[in-house]
């Protein structure tokens, strides 16, 4: 491996560039006059640098960049002034995109655990050739595939996949190996938002855009902290607030955050009681009679579903640690607290069997408006103020005043209101419910999909939307909002991909948590992780680390750096090319697709993830995968080889030749005359004359025709971010609104999503008429009750624990932790505590402490107050530091509908170490 920093020799005096070039560029963007001398300094500093349009590697904001290269190295990045998202600005992470690929320990060749030249599960990592690496992976993959079928193997993907990478992995697994065991870490951040949209609108992806942050009159932050997590959007918010004195920010959180500093009203609630607050707002709307009757009659129906849905945990304590078993037992039976009982119209202390846990959790049915009113009736201001107040040092009356202020804003028909959710509403044991409740508030008031008024789900990763959700890198999805369980959707995908009828597997694969649980229980044996560091990021990770090291399991980590997962879980490490070392495109949180070309070569033997998947596909023949296959539950996939032969497909051909290097792909040639002088590492490494990233993207483009239509590959590479739907060269900003969206077909509003648009009817408790009633063009206004968190503080584990992100670091710090300036700014993970809680435990600021949950013990430093001044009873930590494994403390309960883990609430004990 190369240890020197390869960019150091061509830094063109970075300090000079920063002071002159970047400062002058920022001044120009901001419209600030600069002197001739300053302009000349800027020009001199940038002499010899080639600037190419790019996209930021980090959060879901989707900032455009200009990337400076010189002598084959990236030497600088700055904001793209032509990108509407950031208008030339970057946050501190965005600025350091130029340094993330030049860490001293960058992986440059495959590494395998070996002893005496042979693979050894307990051996030390040694360099190997790509052939040796793939030989070993093939051996383990083939064995698991033959013995367990398509569910014996899987790939854990990423919201940081480029769109071509997402298409490649979906085709490799779903079309090639007929396995739906692909799930991304977007399951860990956005799945609840997806289910909320699916069930409410029948289609995924937001109806609003970032411009709404500036034109709204009231911004309500539900469980998100954009000052830390989306700094460029926060800059736009703060600028709008300063320009418009009437602009109000309501910050609804479980403890104060950096966003609190600009909030007009800070509402601190007890974890999980946001459900109760939303129902209070809904009750006020109904009681005040201010709902939009005409909008509701034309465009909405009311709905509900079962309450007894569990908490997304296993229904057995077989694999639980002894300390976990009391929490685990609630997956089967939950004793209702007094507040839960009132909220759900049941008896306090009632032991409720969770009969609808699992698949039935997502069932729902139509109810009347009178039933809806009955459902929200218990959520009075008095009740919710008592249940939801999260700051023990705030009076109930003061808390109630804030709730009433919030209700007044939502109930004012003339107000423009934008609600935003992110991890707080998604990483939630009832994440799908709280998303649906927020849509319900906006739909009742007729304030959805209107400029300045919507519920808008912010996105955490650069292409969680554009790749994971749209391309379909989930265990249940196909491209463009299609589902594997739908025969018509499978047929469409088979036609576009040129597959025999019946090839695709209709059984939903393993979701993220089920994959690592599968390693533990033996239902899956080979896991390949791509662009993720899951053994650091997953909750309750001590289980999965132990499972990874079981002799029968084989773990592959493809990454650019030796991450915690690589060093502690992997058997094989594959060196991956990073963002500007390959071609790609991301889709951000407002449906904006932005692409880039390859700008520099990957170091050493590092390869693109697309190349890895295509090269691996060469090792398996069609006849091995498209024969009859056994599935769990006694089901089988049919043999489609005769149908393949009838289509001219040779059963002896490789998956590469049939699934990837097909007739469509061969038409997309490399070199591409549009990109003279530009490299494509994937095409050059394959060496057979086609342009894989472009071909994969363009093949996927065929799925998007209609209301999901995206721009073509060349348009997104050359453009500065294009919002879809993109029809005849024009982007549609607001979906479902007939003033903007042609797919409304002349209606003022049309919620045209097709999914789950025929449902039975009933009352608040059950279905009374099983006949599905079609609901074309309608959105659903859901009643969802308050449910207590499955694990709450007690006398032993007496503090709440919350996790999140700081602006200096990205996720597990595998990139930002290698940037000296960012590491220096925030060098270690700490536990943020309230001063009173610390004092009661004899803990001072900076003390080393022992943090214990039912799942793990972690040691860290205490931080009292600081940038995260938490209230009494709750603590906070970020998870970027691999030396402080904070997520091992977390509970692996999930939202039962979305299967997204809840990182925001569990109980811990803190002691001085």
- Rounded Cα distance between 649 and 633, Å, is 30
With CA atoms as reference, report the closest residue to 73 among 673, 603, 711.
603
Tokens at residue 638, please?
A: 């049919």
Tokens at residue 863, please?
A: 């931080």
With CA atoms as reference, report the closest residue to 106 among 602, 710, 752.
602
83 is catalytic: no
Q: What SS3 state is found at 777?
A: coil
With CA atoms as reference, report the closest residue to 775 among 304, 301, 444, 448.
301
Instruction: Kindly name the residue from 93, 248, 450, 780 that is annotated as catalytic.
Output: 93
Contacts of 730 (CB under 8 A, 6+ apart): none
Beta bridge partners of 429: none
The CA angle 570-576-582, to the nearest 5 degrees, is: 160
Checking 519-522 for CB contacts under 8 A at 24+ apart, the result is 519/544, 519/547, 519/548, 519/550, 519/553, 520/319, 520/544, 520/546, 520/547, 520/550, 521/319, 522/552
Beta bridge partners of 269: 389
171 is catalytic: no
**Cβ atoms of 427 and 189 closer than 8 Å:** yes
Tokens at residue 471, please?
A: 């391309």
With CA atoms as reference, report the closest residue to 753 among 727, 782, 776, 723.
776
423 is catalytic: yes
Instruction: Kindly name the residue from 79, 460, 721, 753 that is annotated as catalytic.
Output: 460
**Please, what is the end-to-end C-alpha distance for the chain in angstroms?**
38
With CA atoms as reference, report the closest residue to 880 among 819, 825, 804.
804
With CA atoms as reference, report the closest residue to 231 among 209, 259, 206, 264.
259
User: Cis bond leading into 29, ω under 30°?
Assistant: no
- Rounded Cα distance between 633 and 656, Å, is 30
Instruction: Kindly name the residue from 189, 515, 524, 895 that is annotated as catalytic.
Output: 189
**Cβ atoms of 801 and 793 closer than 8 Å:** no
User: Cis bond leading into 725, ω under 30°?
Assistant: yes
- Rounded Cα distance between 191 and 198, Å, is 10
813: region left, alpha or beta (phi > 0 left; psi from -120 to 50 alpha): left
With CA atoms as reference, report the closest residue to 196 among 780, 732, 661, 596.
780
With CA atoms as reference, report the closest residue to 264 among 233, 215, 218.
218
With CA atoms as reference, report the closest residue to 223 among 406, 407, 409, 423.
423
- Rounded Cα distance between 38 and 441, Å, is 52
Contacts of 57 (CB under 8 A, 6+ apart): 97, 100, 160, 462, 578, 579, 810, 815
Tokens at residue 434, please?
A: 């709280």
Instruction: Kindly name the residue from 59, 83, 423, 890 that is annotated as catalytic.
Output: 423
**Distance from CA of residue 422 to its chain's centroid?**
9
With CA atoms as reference, report the closest residue to 306 among 263, 355, 339.
355
- Rounded Cα distance between 326 and 316, Å, is 11
Tokens at residue 167, please?
A: 């298409």
Beta bridge partners of 454: 418
- Rounded Cα distance between 539 and 887, Å, is 5
**Cβ atoms of 20 and 41 closer than 8 Å:** yes
461 is catalytic: yes
- Rounded Cα distance between 64 and 90, Å, is 9
Instruction: Kindly name the residue from 59, 91, 190, 445 that is annotated as catalytic.
Output: 190
Catalytic residue numbers? 93, 189-190, 423, 460-461
């Amino acid at each position: 491996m190369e240890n020197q920093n390869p960019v150091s020799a061509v830094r063109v005096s970075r300090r000079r560039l920063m002071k002159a070039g970047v400062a002058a560029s920022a001044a120009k963007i901001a419209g600030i006059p600069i002197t001739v001398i300053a302009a000349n300094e800027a020009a001199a500093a940038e002499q010899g640098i080639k600037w190419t349009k790019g996209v930021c590697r980090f959060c879901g904001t989707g900032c455009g960049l200009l990337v400076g290269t010189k002598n084959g190295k990236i030497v600088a990045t700055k904001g793209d002034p032509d990108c509407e998202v950031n208008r030339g600005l970057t946050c501190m992470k965005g600025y350091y995109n130029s340094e993330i690929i030049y860490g001293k320990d960058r992986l440059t060749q495959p590494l395998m655990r070996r002893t005496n030249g042979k693979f050894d599960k307990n051996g030390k990592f040694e360099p190997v050739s790509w052939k040796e690496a793939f030989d070993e992976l093939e051996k383990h993959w083939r064995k698991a595939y033959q013995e367990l079928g398509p569910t014996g193997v899987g790939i854990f993907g990423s919201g940081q996949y480029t769109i071509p990478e997402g298409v490649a992995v979906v085709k490799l697994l779903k079309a090639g190996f007929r396995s739906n065991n692909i799930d991304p870490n977007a399951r860990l951040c956005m799945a609840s938002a997806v289910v909320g949209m699916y069930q409410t609108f029948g289609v995924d992806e937001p109806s609003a855009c970032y411009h709404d942050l500036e034109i709204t009159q009231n911004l309500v932050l539900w469980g998100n902290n954009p000052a830390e997590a989306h700094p460029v959007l926060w800059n736009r918010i703060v600028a709008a607030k300063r320009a418009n004195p009437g602009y109000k920010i309501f910050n609804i959180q479980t403890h104060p955050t950096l966003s609190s500093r600009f909030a007009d009203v800070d509402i601190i609630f007890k974890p999980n009681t946001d459900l109760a607050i939303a129902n209070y707002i809904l009750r006020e709307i109904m009681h005040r009679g201010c709902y939009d009757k005409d909008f509701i009659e034309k465009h909405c129906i009311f709905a509900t579903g079962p309450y007894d849905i569990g908490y997304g945990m296993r229904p057995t304590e077989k694999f639980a640690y002894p300390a976990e078993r009391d929490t685990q037992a609630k997956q089967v039976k939950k004793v209702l607290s007094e507040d839960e009982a009132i909220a759900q119209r049941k008896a306090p202390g009632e032991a409720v069997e969770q009969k609808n846990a699992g698949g039935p959790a997502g069932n729902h049915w139509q109810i009347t408006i009178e039933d809806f009113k009955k459902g929200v009736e218990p959520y009075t201001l008095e009740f919710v103020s008592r249940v939801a107040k999260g700051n023990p040092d705030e009076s109930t009356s003061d808390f109630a005043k804030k709730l009433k202020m919030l209700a007044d804003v939502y109930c004012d028909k003339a107000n423009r209101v934008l609600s935003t959710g992110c991890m707080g509403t998604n990483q939630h044991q009832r994440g799908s419910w709280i998303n649906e409740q927020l849509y319900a508030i906006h739909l009742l008031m007729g304030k959805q999909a209107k400029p300045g008024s919507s519920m808008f789900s912010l996105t955490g990763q650069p292409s969680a939307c554009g790749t994971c959700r749209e391309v379909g890198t989930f265990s249940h999805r196909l491209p463009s909002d299609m589902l594997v369980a739908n025969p018509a959707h499978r047929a469409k995908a088979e036609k576009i991909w040129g597959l025999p009828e019946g090839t695709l597997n209709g059984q939903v694969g393993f979701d993220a948590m089920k994959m690592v649980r599968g390693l533990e229980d033996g239902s899956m044996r080979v896991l390949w992780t791509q662009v993720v560091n899951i053994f650091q990021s997953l909750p309750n990770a001590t289980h999965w680390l132990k499972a990874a090291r079981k002799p029968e399991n084989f773990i592959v980590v493809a990454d650019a750096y030796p991450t915690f997962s690589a060093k502690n879980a992997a058997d094989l490490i594959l060196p991956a090319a990073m963002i500007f070392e390959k071609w790609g495109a991301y889709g951000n949180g407002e449906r904006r697709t932005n692409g880039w070309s390859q700008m520099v070569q990957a170091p050493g033997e590092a390869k693109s993830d697309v190349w890895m998947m295509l090269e691996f596909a060469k090792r398996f023949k069609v006849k091995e995968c498209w024969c009859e296959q056994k599935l769990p539950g006694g089901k089988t996939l049919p043999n489609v080889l005769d149908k393949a032969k009838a289509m001219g497909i040779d059963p002896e051909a490789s998956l590469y030749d049939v699934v990837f290097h097909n007739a469509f792909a061969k038409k997309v040639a490399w070199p591409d005359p549009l990109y003279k002088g530009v490299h494509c590492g994937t095409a050059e490494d394959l060496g057979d004359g086609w342009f894989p990233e472009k071909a994969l993207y363009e093949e996927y483009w065929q799925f998007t025709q209609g209301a999901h239509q995206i721009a073509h590959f060349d348009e997104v590479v050359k453009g500065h971010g294009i919002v879809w739907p993109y029809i005849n060269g024009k982007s549609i900003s607001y979906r479902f609104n007939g003033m903007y969206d042609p797919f409304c077909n002349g209606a003022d509003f049309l919620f045209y999503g097709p999914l789950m648009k025929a449902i039975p009817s009933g009352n608040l408790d059950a279905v009374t008429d099983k006949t599905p009633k079609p609901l074309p063009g309608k959105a659903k206004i859901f009643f969802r009750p308050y449910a207590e968190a499955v694990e709450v503080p007690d006398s032993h584990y007496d503090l709440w624990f919350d996790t999140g992100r700081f602006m200096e670091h990205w996720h597990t710090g595998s990139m930002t932790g290698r940037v000296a300036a960012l590491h220096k700014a925030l060098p270690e993970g700490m536990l943020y505590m309230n001063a009173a809680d610390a004092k009661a435990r004899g803990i001072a600021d900076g003390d080393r402490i022992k943090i214990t949950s039912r799942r793990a013990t972690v040691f860290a430093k205490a931080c009292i107050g600081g940038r995260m001044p938490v209230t009494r009873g709750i603590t906070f930590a970020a998870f970027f530091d691999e030396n402080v494994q904070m997520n091992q403390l977390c509970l692996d309960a999930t939202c039962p509908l979305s299967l997204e883990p809840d990182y925001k609430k569990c109980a811990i004990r803190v002691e001085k170490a």
